[in-house]
Structure 1
C-alpha cells in the first residue's frame, strides 16, 4: 500500500470513533443502548443487518472459492438474499412486534426460563469466540498481504470497535454499519468495473475463464453440488429467520420499517453477489500469479485474489478505501456482537436472577462494563489464537459451529410457526440435534455417500466438502425437526400458566406496533437520525472526492469522484428528508 492508502486507513478509524462520539447523545436509557430504543428507521437497520450478516471472510475465503471454482459460492449469498426477503415478507415485522429489548427475552416468553438460560449461555461464548476468530483471521490476512503487524492490527481494530460500542451503544453500531455500507459497496463496484474494463469488457472476461466457472449446468453434473446448493439455501433461510435473529429488527420503529429493512438487506446482497465475486474471477481470467504477489500466504494464496485484482486495476489511494471496507465487514459483526451480548447478559441474567430491582441507570452502567469486558476478551483471544493454530482450533471451531448452529436455529424457527410444544422442546431439540450431528458426521462420510449413489470415480476435495456440508445439514434438520414436532404429544401435560404464556406470546407477535400510541409521537427522532447520518455521510463523501487530487489517470480520478459522489448524494438526500418530513423529533 502507498502512503495515500495508509492515510485513508487512519482517517477511516478516526471517522468511526467520531461516529460513536456523535451518537452518544442518542443514548438515555438501557433500551436506547441495546436496541436504539425501538426508534430507528428502516434504512439504518437494514444497512446494519446487512453488514452484520457477513464478515471479511467474504473477501478472503469466499473470494478464494470464486477464484478456484467460479459461481457455486454465489449460492450462499443468493440464499442470504432469499432469507432477507422472507424476513421482509413475514418474520421481520413479527420480530419487532415482540416488543422486547433482547432476542433472548423473546425466547423466554416463548419457551420459558430454562430455555432462556440454555440459549443465552450457548450464544454468548460461541459468538464471542466467533468474533475473536474473525478478528484474528483479519489480522493474519493483512499481516501476510501488506506486512502489517499482526498484534497491532488486532489491537487497533478491536479497540476502535470496543469504543464505538461502549460510547454510542446500538445507535453508534447502527449508524456506523449504515455508513460502512456506503463506503464498501461503491468501492467494490469500482473494482468490478475496472477489472472488467481491463479484460476488454464482458466478452473478454468470460473468454478468460475456464468454461465451468459460468456454467450453471454443472449443478447437475458435479458430485453433490446440487445437494449443497439446496442445503445452503435452506440453511441461510433458517439462520436469518429464527428468534436469535429477532435482534436485527428490535431497533426499528414498527413493522413497516422492519419490512423495508428486510427488503434493503435483500437488495444489497443481490448487488453484492456481482461486485464481490466477479473481481476474484477476473483475477483468474487475467492469469495473475498470486504466489509471486503474496509469497507469505503459502497454500492460502487464493484468499488474496480479491486484493490482487484490486492492486492491479485500482488507482493509487483507492486500495485504502477497499481495505477500510474489509475492516468494516469484520467490525460490523464484532460491534453488534459486543452490544448484543452485553444486552443479553444484563437483561437475561443480571436483572432477572441477580438484581430484579436494578434501576435503569445501574443496568446501563453495568452494560457498559460488560461491553468493555467482552471487548477485551475478544481482543485477547484473537492475539492468542495464533498459538493455537497448530492444535487445529480453527478447523475445530468451524466444525463445532456447524454442529451447534443448526440444532439451535431449528427450534427457534419452528417455535415461531408451531404453538403447542412444551417448554423443554427448545433446549431438548438442541441436545438431540447436537448428538445427532456427531453421529451423522461419524458414519455418513463422503465415501458412504458416493457408494450409496453409485459414484465410482474418486471424489474431488470440492465434492467431499459439498457432501459433508449438504448431507449434515439435511440430517441435522430432519433429526431436530422430528424431535421438536414430536414434543407436541406432551402439550396437554403443560401447565395452564405456560399455555397462557404461549398464547400471549403469539398474540403479542401478531399485534402491529402503533409507535405514536405505545411510545408517544414525541419519542420519534426520524429527522434527527436522517440529519445526523446525512451530515456524517457528506463529510465522508467529500473526503473521498478530495482523493481525486491524488496523481492518477483520468479514469482513476473519476473512480474517486464516482465513489465519493454516491456517498455525497445519499447524504444530501438524507439531509433533505430530515428537513421535509414534518414529524417531531
Structure 2
C-alpha cells in the first residue's frame, strides 16, 4: 500500500459512504412507485438530469482504461470524449426533446410503441445482458482503481465494491442516484482540477508536458500507417454520436421535467464533455514522464498502465484529497452501474414481468420484483468483472470500444432510425440486429494484422494498436452500412401498413412538447428538489472546509478551501433558485 494514502484519506472515504446513505435517506419519501424508482417520476430539473446523463456516460474506466491510453499515446484519447460531447450536442438539437416526449417510464416501452410487442421482448433480452456486461466492465475498472489505492487483491476489491454499489443502487432509486450525481459532478471537476494543477506544478508546467511526453507524434506511438488513425478518429465520432442518440438511451431524458429541461440537460452534458477531458488526462500523460516504469511500482497488476492516474495522484495530491478522489470514482461507477442494475431491472419488470407474466400486478409487487432482479443482476455484474480481469491479452480501453462497436452498435442503429423513419415494418428492427451481429462475427474473425497487410499490399507490418483500431474502424462503417442497408431494404420490401394508428400516435407524441399541464409532466414541486440538493451541497461543502484542518502544506489547505467554497456558492445559488420557484408557485 502506498504511504501517500493516509489515515485521513480513509476517514474521507468512510465519510463519503455516510454521505451516500444520507442522500438516500433524504430522498426516500420521493419513491412511491416504479416511475419514481426508475426515472424520478419525470420530475427532474435540467441540472440534475444533465448531471446524471453525463455521469452515466462516464465512469472510473476513464481513470483506468482511458487513462492508460493517455499514458501510452497522449492526447489522442480526447477524441473519444469530445465525440461524446458531439453526441450530446446532437441530442440538444435533434433527439433530447423527442426522447422526453415519448412519455414512457422505460426506454423499451418506447420501443414497443414504435416497433411492436415482439421487438419489445427482443430488445428487453438484448439490453439486459448487454447492460450487465457494460456494468461489469465499469466495475472491473473500479476494482483496478481501488486495488491500486488500497493494495488489495483486484478480485477481492471487485467483490467488496460491487456489493456496496449493489446495496446503494438497490435502496437509493433514481432520485438518490441523480442527486448524488449532481454533487459528484461538482466534486469530481473540482478534484480533477486540483490533481491537474498539482501535477503541472510537479512537472514544471504545461510546456514541459508537451515537450517531454514520450510520443512519436500527436497520433501517439506505434503508428506505421497514419491513415488508420485518421479513420479511427472518424469512426469514434460517428460511433459515439450514434450511441448517444438511440431510443434505448432515451432513458437519460425520461427523468426530465419537460421538453425544455431535457434539451438543457443535453447541453449541460455536452459542455461537461468538452471541458472535463482536457483536465482529466493531464495527470496520466504526466505520469508517462514522472513515473515511466509503472510495472515496478505495481508489480501485481497485469496491465500497470491502467493505474497511471492513481500513481501520479498518490504522489502529488495532499493528504485527504486522495480519499475524496476515490470517493468520486466510486460515485461515477455507481451511476454508470445503474444502467446494469436499476435501469435493467426496470426493463425486466415493466417490459417482461408486467406485460407478460403479471399484467394485474400492483405497484408494490412491481417494486419488490424490481429489487429482487437488481440483486440478481448485481451478482452477475460482479462475476463478469472478475472474469474480465483474466483477459490479459486486451486492455480495458480496447475491450470497451470493441464491445461497443461489435455488440452494441448493431443493436442501436435501428433505434436511431426509429425516431426519424415513419414507414417501416416491425421486423426491420430485429432483422437489422441479426444482420449486424453477423457482420460483427465476420469482422472479428477476418480483420487481423496479417490479413490487412496482405489485402492492402502494405510494404510493412502494422502494429497491434493499429490492428485493434482497424477492428473498430471496419466494425463501425460495416455495421452502419449493413444495418442501415438492411433496415431500408426491409422498408422497400414490406410496405403494408401494420399498427399504423399506434405508430402515428408515437410520432404525434414525440413531436408534441411536454409542457405545463401535460399529463406526463412531473407533478412534484421543482423547488423541493432544489432546496434539498442545496442542503446536501452545504453539508458536503462544510465537510470539505473542515478538511482544511488536515496537516497539509499551504497549497493543500487552499485546495480544500477552494473546493468547499465552490460547493457552498453553488448551494447558495440553488437555495435562491428554490425560493424563487416556491414564491412563483404561491403567486400562481
TM-score grouping bracket, smaller chain normalisation? over 0.9
**Residue matched to 1:202:** 206
**Residue matched to 2:289:** 285
Please say if 1:426 is aligned against 2:438.
no
**Residue matched to 2:352:** 349
Residue aligned with 1:475, SS: helix
**Residue matched to 1:261:** 265
**Residue matched to 1:189:** 193
**Residue matched to 2:277:** 273
CA offset digits 1:497-516 (Å, max 9, x no partner) = x1222211111111101233
Residue aligned with 2:256, SS: coil
Deviation at 1:453, TM superposition (A): 4.0
Relative to 1, partners in 2 of residues 1:558 and 1:468: Cα closer, same or farther, differing over 3 Å? Answer: same
Greater mean alpha carbon deviation, residues 137-146 or residues 34-43: 137-146
Deviation at 1:301, TM superposition (A): 1.3
**Residue matched to 1:579:** 579
Please say if 1:139 is aligned against 2:143.
yes
**Residue matched to 2:515:** 514
**Residue matched to 2:530:** 530
**Residue matched to 2:503:** 502
Unaligned runs of 5+ in 2: none
1: CA distance between counterparts of 2:76 and 2:210?
Answer: 16
Give runs of aligned pairs for residues 274-313 of structure 1, distance below 5 A.
Answer: 274-298=278-302, 300-313=303-316
Residue aligned with 1:224, SS: helix
Residue aligned with 1:296, SS: coil
Give runs of aligned pairs for residues 135-284 of structure 1, distance below 5 A.
Answer: 135-150=139-154, 153-210=157-214, 212=216, 214=218, 222-284=226-288
Deviation at 1:288, TM superposition (A): 4.3
Relative to 1, partners in 2 of residues 1:397 and 1:289: Cα closer, same or farther, differing over 3 Å? Answer: closer
1: CA distance between counterparts of 2:494 and 2:505?
Answer: 16
Residue aligned with 1:417, SS: coil
Deviation at 1:238, TM superposition (A): 0.7
**Residue matched to 2:60:** 56
TM-score (norm 1): 0.93
Q: Is this contact kept in 2: 1:97–1:513, CA < 8 A?
A: yes
**Residue matched to 2:466:** 463
2: CA distance between counterparts of 1:392 and 1:197?
Answer: 34
Select 2:496's aligned residue among 471, 479, 493: 493
Relative to 1, partners in 2 of residues 1:86 and 1:392: Cα closer, same or farther, differing over 3 Å? Answer: closer
Relative to 1, partners in 2 of residues 1:17 and 1:2: Cα closer, same or farther, differing over 3 Å? Answer: same
Select 1:17's aligned residue among 18, 21, 46: 21
2: CA distance between counterparts of 1:215 and 1:374?
Answer: 39
2: CA distance between counterparts of 1:433 and 1:151?
Answer: 34
Relative to 1, partners in 2 of residues 1:450 and 1:190: Cα closer, same or farther, differing over 3 Å? Answer: same
Query: When the two structures are aligned, how many residues end up with a matched partner?
Result: 580
Please say if 1:541 is aligned against 2:541.
yes
2: CA distance between counterparts of 1:295 and 1:482?
Answer: 49
Residue aligned with 1:187, SS: helix
**Residue matched to 1:414:** 417
2: CA distance between counterparts of 1:559 and 1:171?
Answer: 30
Please say if 1:483 is aligned against 2:486.
yes
Please say if 1:358 is aligned against 2:365.
no
Q: Is this contact kept in 2: 1:186–1:563, CA < 8 A?
A: yes
2: CA distance between counterparts of 1:398 and 1:221?
Answer: 20
Deviation at 1:204, TM superposition (A): 2.1
1: CA distance between counterparts of 2:585 and 2:35?
Answer: 20
1: CA distance between counterparts of 2:80 and 2:62?
Answer: 11
Relative to 1, partners in 2 of residues 1:459 and 1:382: Cα closer, same or farther, differing over 3 Å? Answer: closer
Deviation at 1:160, TM superposition (A): 3.2
Relative to 1, partners in 2 of residues 1:277 and 1:104: Cα closer, same or farther, differing over 3 Å? Answer: same
2: CA distance between counterparts of 1:114 and 1:50?
Answer: 31
Relative to 1, partners in 2 of residues 1:409 and 1:563: Cα closer, same or farther, differing over 3 Å? Answer: same
Q: Is this contact kept in 2: 1:132–1:381, CA < 8 A?
A: yes
2: CA distance between counterparts of 1:55 and 1:257?
Answer: 24
CA offset digits 1:450-504 (Å, max 9, x no partner) = 4444431221222112211111211111111100111111342243xx1222211
Q: Is this contact kept in 1: 2:65–2:395, CA < 8 A?
A: no
Relative to 1, partners in 2 of residues 1:360 and 1:319: Cα closer, same or farther, differing over 3 Å? Answer: same
Please say if 1:102 is aligned against 2:106.
yes
TM-score (norm 2): 0.93
Deviation at 1:140, TM superposition (A): 4.0
1: CA distance between counterparts of 2:206 and 2:520?
Answer: 53
Cα RMSD (Å): 2.6
Residue aligned with 1:99, SS: coil
Greater mean alpha carbon deviation, residues 101-110 or residues 170-179: 170-179
Q: Is this contact kept in 1: 2:148–2:310, CA < 8 A?
A: no
Residue aligned with 2:196, SS: helix
Select 1:435's aligned residue among 433, 438, 444: 438
Residue aligned with 2:131, SS: helix
Relative to 1, partners in 2 of residues 1:297 and 1:379: Cα closer, same or farther, differing over 3 Å? Answer: closer
2: CA distance between counterparts of 1:363 and 1:283?
Answer: 49
Q: Is this contact kept in 2: 1:13–1:160, CA < 8 A?
A: no
Please say if 1:331 is aligned against 2:334.
yes
Q: Is this contact kept in 2: 1:30–1:360, CA < 8 A?
A: yes
Relative to 1, partners in 2 of residues 1:311 and 1:397: Cα closer, same or farther, differing over 3 Å? Answer: closer
2: CA distance between counterparts of 1:311 and 1:195?
Answer: 11
2: CA distance between counterparts of 1:362 and 1:217?
Answer: 56
Relative to 1, partners in 2 of residues 1:516 and 1:61: Cα closer, same or farther, differing over 3 Å? Answer: same
